[in-house]
Amino acid sequence: MEVRGVLDRPTAASLIELVVAAAGTCRAVEVDLDGVESMTQEAAALLLFHARPWRSVSEKVTFRANGRPGREAVLDAYALRRGSATHSPLP
């Protein structure tokens, strides 16, 4: 599946639902993020750290990205998670 435009938290949550449903019926799911124009750190955190049901199908899912808009968001999400680990963990 191909994702385009802005990837914010609500869109990432919908993407997770779609990927989980697809992984339930497909042997493998590839998510192409090359068309993403921007990604918020909240969206990156949701994709990286969401526990269930995301983790139950994660071995079937491959994300492919050119690394440009998402790279900073992913780094920010890791930094946010590391900084808030003693407070309240991200979902």
Looking at residue 88, what is its pLDDT?
A: 42
CA 22 to chain centroid, in Å, comes to: 15
Looking at residue 52, what is its pLDDT?
A: 62
Looking at residue 86, what is its pLDDT?
A: 41
Q: How many CB atoms lie under 10 A from the CB of residue 71?
A: 13
pTM of the predicted model as reported, rounded to 2 decimal places: 0.72
Q: What is the pLDDT along the chain (91 residues), one digit of tens a residue?
A: 998 889 899 999 999 889 889 988 999 999 888 888 888 888 888 887 776 666 677 788 887 777 666 666 666 766 776 665 443 444 4
